[in-house]
Amino acid sequence: MSNNVSDLLLDGNVAAQLLQRIFVPDITLAKIRCDSCDCVSGVGALTLDASPMGAVLKCADCESDLMRAVDTPRGLWLEMTGARCLLF
């Protein structure tokens, strides 16, 4: 085992296999923890506020915004600052 910290710093490509396990499965089966009220809900049970600008998924308990998804000509954006974590 190396004691050199720089040996542990790799680029993001090395995490691809782990990230595919997180993002490829059915997202509606994942659990999400609200950063505001700390409750845990199934993503499929969240309230959706749909608009032409995109989709906002809200906490079922406190109605805080957990996830915002927008499809733009420059790419698909996902913002999750209202969520503490996702569990798959």
Q: How far is the CB of 86 from Zn ion (least distance, A)?
A: 14
Asked whether the CA dihedral 59, 85, 30, 72 is positive or negative, the reply is: positive
Q: Does 61 bind Zn ion (CB under 5 A)?
A: yes
The rounded Cα 10 to chain-centroid distance in angstroms is: 23
Indicate left, alpha or beta for 41 from its phi (over 0: left) and psi (-120 to 50: alpha). Answer: beta
Q: Does 62 bind Zn ion (CB under 5 A)?
A: yes
Q: Does 47 bind Zn ion (CB under 5 A)?
A: no
Q: Does 59 bind Zn ion (CB under 5 A)?
A: yes
Q: Does 33 bind Zn ion (CB under 5 A)?
A: no
**Site residues (CB under 5 A) for Zn ion?**
34, 36-37, 59, 61-62, 64
